[in-house]
Amino acid sequence: MLRNSVAAAALIGTALFAGAAFAQSGKVTVVTSFSKDVTDPFKQAFEKAHPGVTLDVQNRNTNAGVKFVEETKANNQVDVFWASAPDAFEVLKGKSLLQKYKPKAEGIPDKIGSYPINDPENFYSGFAASGYGIMWNDRYAKANKLPEPKDWQDLAKPVYFDHVAMAAPSRSGTTHLTIETILQGEGWEKGWRTLKEVSGNFRQITERSFGVPEAVNSGQVGFGIVIDFFAFSSQASGFPVKFVYPTVTTIVPANVAVVANAPNKAGAEAFVDYLVSPAGQEVLLEPSIRRLPVNPAVYAKAPANYPNPFKDPSLGARVKFDVDVSEKRTNVVDVLYDQTVTFQLDALKAATKAIHDAEAAIAKNDNAEAKALVKEARDLVAAMPVTEQQASSPEIVGAFTGGKEKGARQAELEQQWAAIAKERYQQAQAKAEQALKLAR
C-alpha cells in the first residue's frame, strides 16, 4: 500500500515537473505590433529568466496581426497576441480567438484613471499604459520660430502649416486610438472638425507609426502626433524633443493575451506572467521603451519627472474612453479618415492654405462678406459624409470587414466618401480664394 502511494506520488511529481519543464522550454510565438526597440529588450530579459525558452517575435501592424491570428487558427501557429489597441483584443475575444488567463501578479490595481487595466473576463491583461499627444523637435521649432503647442487645436493654426506628421490610423492601431479619443472626447462633429483642421497642416501621413518619431527626431518634420513612449524613448536617446498630453487625451493599457489553442500554452502563460512581474515592469523603464508601468510600485525606480498616471489624476481624466464604441466602428472610422484625409491630403491642404491666406487678409482688412465665405469654407472642410449614428449602423458597419477583399458595398461607400470629400475641398478652396480677393 505504501509502495503504491509512493509510486503515485512519484507519478504526480513527475507530471508536475513535466508541466513546469514544458513552460520552461520550447518556442513561444508572439504576434505583436511593437517594434524591435520594444520587443528585443523583453525577448532578452524573458529568455534569460526562462532558460530553454525561445521567444519567436513576429512583427505586424495591429490590423495585420489580428488577421494573421484569424487566418492561422486552424493550424494553431500563434501563442501570444501583444499590442496596444484594446479594441483589437475585443475583436479577437469576440471571435473566440483568445483564451482566459489571469496572470500571477500582485500590486496591480483594477484601473488606471477611469480605465480598467485588465479584461473583466480575463481574456487579456494590461501590462503597460500609454497616452496620446504631440511630440516636437525643439531645435526645429526654434529655428522656424514656432510656438510650443499645448492642445490638438493648436496644430490647426496657420503657423504650423506643412510642419506636422501623423501615421494613417488604418495602418497604426495607436493612431486609430488617438483619432477615436478625439472623436469621443470632443464628439463626432467637433472631433472630425478638429481632425480635418489639424490634418490640413500635415506635411505627410506615414504608413507606420514609428515613421513619425523618426521624422521628428531627424528634423524632417517639426511636430508629430504620437503615442507618448515614442517621445520618451527619443528623449532618453538624446534627441532634442519635447512632448505634451493635450487636454483631450486618455490613458489606456497596452495588452497581452494567450491565443486560443496556443501550441505552447504554458510558455505563453509564462510570458504573460513575466510582463506583469516586477522584473518585467522594470523593463518598461529602459530608454528604448519608456512606457508607463501598470504596477504603481515600479515608478519608484523611474527617472526623474517620469509621468505617473497613478499620482497625476489629470492624465487622461477628460476622456472616459469607451472601448465598445471604438471596437464597433473601428474599420468605419479608419476608412473615413483614409477616404476624406489620407487619400485627399493634397486637396485638403490646398483648401486649408486658401483659408489661412483669406483669414490673414481679413485680419488686416475686415470684410463681412469675406468672413462669411471663410466660414462656409471651414464648414465644407469639416463636413463628414456620414453621421455618428450612421457610422455605427449595422448597414455601414457590416460593409467593412477589415479584410483584404472588399465587398461591393464597401467599394461603393469608399468611392462615394472620397468623391464627396474631394468636391467639398474644391468648393472650400474656391470660397476661400474668393474671400481673399474681397479682403484685399
Question: 280, 156, 147, 167: which is closest to 214 by C-alpha?
Answer: 167
pLDDT greater than 90 at residue 243: yes
SS3 137: strand
- pLDDT digits over 69-112, tens only? 999 988 889 999 999 888 899 999 999 999 999 999 999 999 88
Residue 76 CB: number of other CB atoms within 10 A? 14
Alpha carbon 401 to its chain centroid, in Å, reads: 20
- pLDDT digits over 150-183, tens only? 999 999 999 999 999 999 999 888 899 899 999 9
Question: Are 133 and 243 a contacting pair, CB within 8 Å?
Answer: yes
What is the pTM assigned to this prediction?
0.82
User: What is the rounded CA–CA span in Å between residue 294 and residue 312?
Assistant: 14
- What value does the mean pLDDT take over residues 219-223? 98
Residue 22 CB: number of other CB atoms within 10 A? 14
At residue 375, the pLDDT reads: 98
- pLDDT digits over 345-367, tens only? 999 999 999 999 999 999 999 99
User: Which value, in Å, is the radius of gyration of the alpha carbons in the chain?
Assistant: 24
pLDDT greater than 50 at residue 343: yes
Confidence category of residue 314, pLDDT binned at 50, 70, 90: confident
Confidence category of residue 2, pLDDT binned at 50, 70, 90: very low
Residue tagged 525577448 (cell numbers): 43
Q: Is 35 left (phi over 0), alpha (psi -120 to 50) or beta?
A: beta
pLDDT greater than 90 at residue 143: yes
- What value does the mean pLDDT take over residues 395-424? 88
- pLDDT digits over 257-280, tens only? 999 999 999 999 999 999 999 999
SS3 24: coil
Question: 63, 79, 11: which is closest to 261 by C-alpha?
Answer: 79
Burial call 268-282: b when 16+ CB within 10 Å, e when fewer? bbbbbbbbbbeebbe
